[in-house]
Amino acid sequence: MSQSVFTKLKQQEKKEEEKQLGSHPVQPKVRSKLSNKVSDNLDTLKNAIGNPEDLNLRYISIGKLQKKCGIAYLSGITDTNMINQDIIQTLQQNLKEMEGSPLENVKLEMIAVSSVAELNDMKEIINLVLNGQTVFFLEEEENALVIGTSGGDKRAIEQPQSENLIQGPREGFVESLEVNLALIRRNIRDPNLRFKAYEVGTRSKQKLVLCYVEDVINPQILEEVIYRLESIELEYITDVSQIEQWIEDSSLSPFPQMLGTERPDKVAFEVLHGRFAVLVDGTPFSAIGPVVLSDINKSMEDYNQRWITASLLRILRVIASLIALFLPGVYIAMVLFHPGMLPTTLVFSIAASREGMPFSAIAEIFLMAATFEMLQEAAIRLPRIIGQTIGIVGGIVIGEAAVSAGIASPIIVIITALTAIASFCSPYYSVAISFRAVRFGVMLICALLGLFGLILALLVLIIHVTNLKSFGVPYSFTVLPAVKQDMMDNIIRGPITKVEEQYIFLQDELKDPNKQRNE
Amino acid sequence: MRTVGYADGKISNITILTIVPSIVIAVGILTYPRTLASQTEGADGWITLLIGGAVCACSTFLIAKIASLFPGQSFYTYTSSMLTKPIAILLSMLFFLLTITIVSYETAFIANISHHYLFEKTPSEAINLAFLFVVLYAVCGERVAIFRTGFGIIVLTAVATIVLVITALPSADWNRMLPTFTTDFKSYLGELPNSILSYSGVFVLFFYMKLTRTPSKSVKSAVIGAIAVTGFYITVYLMCIAVLGNVSTANTVYPLVELANMVRSIGFLDRIESLYFVIWITTVFMTTVIAYDISVLIITDIFPKANKIFIAFCLLPFVYFISLLPTDYYQVSDLGMIIGYAAKCLTIITLVFLWIMYWGKGRKGKRGKS
């Protein structure tokens, strides 16, 4: 417990690194210095990336200056209009006399694109071309210009798919990092907002951005997350959740230690309250941390409704998560071990409904729970067009047929349905699915030890949560122990005038886990 | 930076306040109304409870005070500086044996009472083992996490008991408390050790005071904790007498569970005594975890390089073995009695030695200065 799984991973990682330096994929041998001949440079570039179909090479000449020059870019990930109009056209139509260095002239006067850099390292140039930039070579020059032309087709900004709100902004993140950053920036016009960029993915070379507000975030948390981000070694990041798994404190916990969201307003809100967000190019999800227990119950909706309604909704969600976790377990414990605790009439009706059932209560509820899980999984995997089928099939199997065939009793169907409804009340999908696993564990121990098992399961969960940490912040904070200043935005959401502008529990002095490790 | 201050392994005053009830309220709460009522008339038992509570508060003060005079030092360190090393090791070992036995006793009690109320068929060996594994899981984690859990459980217990008292009010018959002060002096005297025994466990402060952030202020918190326990005990006792009457309280094995049994049909649950029983299991659990943690703490204080988790695992077979020894209720309660006396004696001896040495040395120090 003293050493998190993450730390171990990290140490292991370091050892391996020491063993074989340069674990990066083998790069083709490229002469790093540029030659002063355009054709040579274009050939080197072509060979280095294997002359792919989408590589465009073009020789042009600049109006009055009778020198050969060439540009290269990858079509599809560049803005072709920009290249045609602002680079090729302006260069060709140039009729001015040049004084001094021609390259400098081209850079300063001709190219009508805002981002231009002068480089002479071929490897770097190749990387930038792969990122959608255009490279410009000029005869007799040992430097090249790299012009920011990245673009290409992007998905339009749409409503978030996984987090719906009744009231609130309708924008959701898209796959393009630039657009996502713009969406956050539009919400926070603060000079202290920081986007710290990293390159992740040894092959994919994706951009990762750590977003935070300088004067709000706790420096110790920031230090810790930067330390962890720098340790990432993955080939390709499919989604930000891979980053999340790499940098989280405990990989054995069912509780998420970062929360994924595709809402810019959510990211802006949390960042302003002292958290950080991680965004990766190529996914509409961002991950927010550090997270504590009460956060998995919060939705942005809560802040957009009036406080009494919002608080009641939060309490409702707490009850729903308790039902989702414990209801089947409680049912098993009651029916199997303590029927005396139930009201006599209920016991009779349960007994009557179970009469003639071929399976025991445990087998029955496990069967129904497993069916429901499969149904849920199938509904996600099926193509949307035939997705409705599963609804009908599931409705008939779970609702009607199982009961009339005498395989499941009606009360089991009610329990399963209630559990399902409750588990969907969670604002985060990642929380809902991890609770599913916990639920089965609870059911199992209740089948073995009844109510005593239930209380043991509850104790184990409490102990686990009190031991868990998210980026050095104890997971149980704001609940156990309660933080007085944060009471107003916790299980209830207090009146807007009473809610603190920042999370106080994040602002505290934390003992730096980093330093502890080095000692 | 604003500081509530956390994650540094130190504990606050409120935590100290909750540790005292966490360790003191254990299996005793289920049984003490019976032993008390059997010796006293009417509701007179509250007097001995009050005296017991006063003794408890005094000893809490003395323990917390002496420990707070050595801020940041472990029990082993300050006893060896006061009483020489061999005596410190001897005392530590005695406390170690005591805590180990407490763990076993509580576990045995849980298994016994589970048989009584929850299930008859499941073998107590399995119940013991499952319970001990959860205790072990708690001990292997952070120490602060134990206190956080304890805090939650104490709040839960307090709320549950308040609800119980309120719901039991309609069935209370206040005439059962009468007549008052009819018990003779001898019975009070005879009953007093039992009452004092109900409050055992505060010796953990010898070991935990080194974790507090502000030792001098924590003493007050600890005493408040002890007073809270006294209030809690007296309330529960008076409720038992008012609802069940003196005679049936004296003749019920677990009067508190019976009290819950009197409260019927709240909401959709018919017999909520099992529910309350489950809540009291958590308080017993907390006592067990703290006792286990103390036994591990004693070892790691003496051998600072020892691995905490390794020690915790090594202790498990012994604890499990001892917990299987008592076979029936009477043996379990005998074991409880022995533990209670042992804890009291050990605490008193340690206290007396420490305070005498402290005064002696303090005078010497003053003389040396002047």
Mean local confidence (pLDDT), A422-430: 89
pLDDT at position B1 over 50:
no
Burial class (CB in 10 A: 0-12, 13-18, 19+), B147: buried
Contacts with A507 from chain B: Cβ below 8 Å: 1-2
- What's the pLDDT band for B310 if we cut at 50, 70, 90? very high
Q: Return the minimum-mean-pLDDT range out of A171-185, A230-244, A269-283, B171-185.
A: B171-185
pLDDT tops 50 at residue B110: yes
Q: 3-class SS at A510? A: coil
Predicted confidence (pLDDT) per residue in A157-167, tens digit: 989 888 888 88
Name every chain A residue with its beta carbon within 8 A of the beta carbon of B134: 456, 459-460, 463
Between B370 and B138, the higher pLDDT residue? B138
Return the structure tokens found at A392: 């009908």
What is the pLDDT confidence band of residue B92, given thresholds at 50, 70 and 90?
very high
Q: Helix H segments across A264-409? A: 264-272, 301-304, 307-336, 344-353, 361-381, 387-394, 402-404
Q: Is residue B369 over pLDDT 50?
A: no
Task: Report chain B's mean pLDDT, rounded to a whole number.
Answer: 84
Cβ under 8 Å to B: A residues 69-88: none
Looking from the CA of A47 toward its CB, the CA atoms found within 13 Å total: 11
Residue A22 has pLDDT above 50, yes or no: no
pLDDT grade for A517, boundaries at 50, 70 and 90: very low
Mean pLDDT confidence for A235-249: 91
To test the contact with chain A by mutation, choose from B12, B15, B137 the residue with the greatest count of A C-beta atoms within 10 A, namely B137
Q: B113-142 pLDDT, tens per residue?
A: 887 777 777 788 888 999 999 999 999 988
- Look at A481 and B148 and tell me if their CB atoms are within 8 Å: yes
Is the predicted pLDDT of residue A377 greater than 90, yes or no?
A: no
Q: Give pLDDT, residue A186.
A: 92
Q: Could you tell me whether strands A144-147 and A206-213 are parallel, antiparallel, or unpaired per DSSP bridges?
A: unpaired
The C-alpha atoms of residue B61 and residue B20 are separated, in whole angstroms, by: 11
Cβ(B64)–Cβ(B204) below 8 Å? no
- A5 pLDDT band, cuts 50/70/90, is low
Chain B interface mutation, best of A4, A250, A466, highest count of B Cβ atoms under 10 Å: A466
3-state secondary structure of B205: helix
pLDDT (0 to 100) of residue A14: 62
C-beta atoms of B151 and A481 within 8 A: yes
Q: What is the pLDDT of residue A250?
A: 87
Subunit contact A341:B4, Cβ cutoff 8 A: no
Nearest C-alpha of chain B: how many angstroms from A357? 24
Q: Does A507 contact chain B (CB < 8 Å)?
A: yes
Which pair of tokens denotes residue A158? 């749409």
**Cβ-Cβ contacts under 8 Å, B137 against chain A:** 460, 463
Question: Where are the strands (E) in chain B, listed by range?
Answer: 264-266, 269-271
B149 lies within 8 A of chain A by CB: yes
Beta carbons of B282 and A505 less than 8 Å apart: no
**Distance of residue B31 Cα from the nearest chain A Cα, in angstroms:** 20
Q: Which is nearest to A284 in space by CA: A200, A161, A382, A430? A: A161
Question: Residue A395 CA to chain centroid, in angstroms?
Answer: 33
Token representation of residue A513: 């886990």
Q: Look at A455-459, B152-156, B365-369 and tell me which has the smallest mean pLDDT.
A: B365-369
Of the pLDDT bands very low, low, confident and very high (cuts 50, 70, 90), residue A458 is very high
Give the pLDDT band of residue A17 (cuts 50, 70, 90): low
| Per-residue confidence (pLDDT) for residue B281, from 0 to 100 | 86
pLDDT > 70 fraction of chain B, expressed in percent and rounded:
93
pLDDT digits (tens, 9 = 90+) for B163-174: 888 888 887 777
Mean pLDDT of chain A: 84
B94-110 mean pLDDT: 92
User: Taking residues A153-175, what's their average pLDDT?
Assistant: 88
Q: Does B85 touch chain A (CB under 8 A)?
A: no
For chain A, percent of residues with pLDDT exceeding 90: 24
Which residue has 């942005």 as its token pair?
A300
pLDDT given at position A7: 62
Q: How far is CA A258 from CA A218, A287, A502, in A?
A: 17, 6, 18
What gap in Å lies between CA B124 and CA B183, rounded to an integer? 40
Instruction: Residue B105: name the closest of B94, B117, B97 by CA.
Output: B97
What pLDDT shows up at residue B4?
A: 35
Whether residue A467 and residue B269 make contact (CB cut-off 8 A), yes or no, is: no
CA distance B327 to B324: 7
In the prediction, which pLDDT does B175 show? 79
Q: DSSP states of A4-51 as a string?
A: -HHHHHHHHHHHHHHHSS--SPPPPP---BPPS-HHHHHHHHHHHTT-
Q: Do B5 and A508 touch (CB under 8 A)?
A: yes
Higher pLDDT, A286 or A7: A286
A344 neighbourhood in chain B, CB within 8 Å:
270
pLDDT for A433 beyond 50: yes
> Coil, helix or strand for A260?
strand
Residue A510: the pLDDT is: 45
CB contact under 8 A, A507 and B268: no
pLDDT tens digit sequence for A390-419: 878 887 777 788 888 888 888 888 899 899
In this prediction, residues B38-62 reach a mean pLDDT of 86
Tell me the pLDDT band of A2, cut-offs 50, 70 and 90: very low
E strands of B169-280, at which residues? 264-266, 269-271
For the segment A48-58, what is each residue's pLDDT rounded down to a tens digit?
888 888 888 88
Q: Concatenate the DSSP letters of all residues of A381-443 into one string.
A: HS-GGGHHHHHHHHIIIIIIIHHHTTSS-HHHHHHHHHHHHHHTTSS-HHHHHHHHHHHHHHH
pLDDT recorded at residue B5: 43
Asked whether B261 and B168 are in contact (CB, 8 A), the reply is no
Q: What is the pLDDT of residues B267-305, one digit of tens each?
A: 556 667 777 777 888 999 999 999 999 999 999 999 988
DSSP B183: S
- Using the Cβ of B141 and the Cβ atoms of chain A, whether some distance falls under 8 Å is answered with yes
How many CB atoms are located within 10 Å of the residue B125 CB? 12
State yes or no: cis peptide before B33, omega within 30 of 0.
no
Which residues, other chains included, contact A84 with Cβ-Cβ below 8 Å and sequence gap of 6+?
none
- The full set of domains in chain B, from first to last, is 13-353 (1.20.1740.10)
Token output for B248 = 């049936």
- Sign of the Cα torsion A479, A483, A484, A489 reads negative
Of A479-493, B2-16, B98-112, least confident by mean pLDDT is B2-16
Return d(Cα B237, Cα A476) in angstroms, integer: 34
Counting one residue from A and one from B, how many pairs have CB atoms under 8 Å apart?
124
Please answer yes or no on whether A507 and B137 come within 8 Å at the CB atom.
Answer: no
In angstroms, the CA A510 to CA B2 distance is 11
CA–CA distance, A49 with B59 (Å, rounded to integer):
80
Q: What is the DSSP string of A190-217?
A: -TTEEEEEEEE-TTT-EEEEEEEETTTS
pLDDT tens digits along A187-210: 999 999 999 999 998 888 889 999
Three-state SS for A473?
strand
- % of chain A residues with pLDDT over 70: 92
A514, pLDDT greater than 60 = no
Residue carrying structure tokens 């323990």: B63
Instruction: Give me the mean pLDDT over the B148-171 stretch.
Output: 86
DSSP character for B19? H
Q: Are B146 and B211 in contact (CB under 8 A)?
A: no
Closest partner CB to B145 (pick from A454, A466, A484) = A466
Rounded Cα gap, residues A26 and A34, in angstroms: 21
The pLDDT of residue B268 = 54
Is B272's Cβ below 8 Å from some Cβ in A? yes
Strands (DSSP E) found in B207-333 = 264-266, 269-271
Alpha-carbon A73 to chain mean position:
31
Report for A76-90, A93-107, A123-137, A272-286: range of highest mean pLDDT: A272-286
pLDDT for res B61: 93
B260 pLDDT higher than 50: yes
Q: What's the pLDDT score for residue B270?
A: 62
Does the beta carbon of B266 lie under 8 angstroms from any beta carbon of chain A? Answer: no
pLDDT at A18: 58
ipTM of the complex: 0.90
Tokens read off for B284? 């017993």
Q: Which of A480, A512, A515 to mutate to probe the B interface, most B CBs <10 Å? A: A480
